Structure 1
């Protein structure tokens, strides 16, 4: 079962002002199955001429926070190439832009955590590094699990840990968990538990 957040009428202050950016010419700098890099000769909203490099993503970023009935969460640890760093994160991955995000998130949870969830709730839509990329993300909370075989990607060497939610939240707040989607999803779940937006028994476990 999957639930989406209710529609909310945006407040007046969210309306954009002024002129948008415009591109006069562009060229493809680099392309692979996951991203393409473009260079644009552009005009800023102020009218000033500018050069702009944009990374176009070919997949939607997906984040899944697995909440267990005992108040623990499933995390995965792995080495990340761009920052040459080790990162503990919630299960994450990518899904084709033309596919239902829930379907791709369910696949990622199976592959990385070896879990299938009966309950899913979409709780986050976000833009990631929107000054230089067009990458968008969708975040889900999942619960009520059954174990299934894991099937990580050929490049993934994953560790797995099941830790108390409050411990994971504290690690996010002090910077020991620094992946932005993990931080955002842990804070989102805490807010939902405080506001009564999660099943009461689950919320009590997260807040205890």
Structure 2
């Protein structure tokens, strides 16, 4: 059995990297790789700038959920606030900016719950998840192409929505599971920002 952390026998070496598509948000690459056994194979991957997602938890134990239309699946979804990281922006600065823009709140207490890689088979996207507390309402500043409805629900109800299929967005499911672990004192990866 292989020890944890010893991945030399799994490593693929990129021998060619070519652009297949260069969009506003996503970039698709075609990679040629040398496998651990010496054979050559091909990979397609999406390069993504990364994102930050936030659980905005108020002093009554309620969180902000967003209802937003998602074109790839042609329907609306319940999600926590989130957004892509702009060039030169840190994940934490992105989280603070997006919380104001989308949810209309600022927070004075932040905890980084963790980082997820939500599509490791075909993308380098990472989402850093934050818990935002000590909330103060401010004016929302949605982007011109954003249409988002907000709803406050007890965090336990949102967690139940992940279990009954009402919430199917992966970042929201993982973030709510991390929140539950954090509040129970069992999330070891959490760090104060």
- Normalised TM-score (structure 2): 0.89
Q: Deviations over 1:71-100 (max 9, x none)?
A: 111110011011222110000101135322
Aligned-partner SS, 1:172? helix
Distance 2:148 2:56 in 1: 16
Q: Deviations over 1:153-188 (max 9, x none)?
A: 111110100011111000012221111111111111
1:123 aligns with 2:113: yes
Structure 2, unpaired ranges of 5+: 188-193
Q: Deviations over 1:43-68 (max 9, x none)?
A: 223333212111111x2211100111
Aligned-partner SS, 1:82? helix
| 1:159 corresponds to | 149
Aligned-partner SS, 2:73? coil
| TM superposition shift of 1:19 | 4.1
Which aligned pairs between 1:110-189 and structure 2 lie closer than 5 A? 110-189=100-179
Distance 2:64 2:167 in 1: 13
Q: Deviations over 1:30-49 (max 9, x none)?
A: 10231211112222233332
| 1:7 corresponds to | none
| 2:180 corresponds to | 190
Distance 1:14 1:142 in 2: 33
1:84 aligns with 2:74: yes
Structure 1, unpaired ranges of 5+: 1-11, 198-208
Aligned-partner SS, 1:177? coil
Distance 2:120 2:33 in 1: 16
Distance 1:45 1:65 in 2: 41
Distance 2:36 2:166 in 1: 38
| 2:191 corresponds to | none
Aligned-partner SS, 2:15? strand
| 2:60 corresponds to | 70
Distance 2:120 2:171 in 1: 14
Residues 19 and 97 of structure 1: CA distance in aligned 2, closer, same or farther (over 3 Å): farther
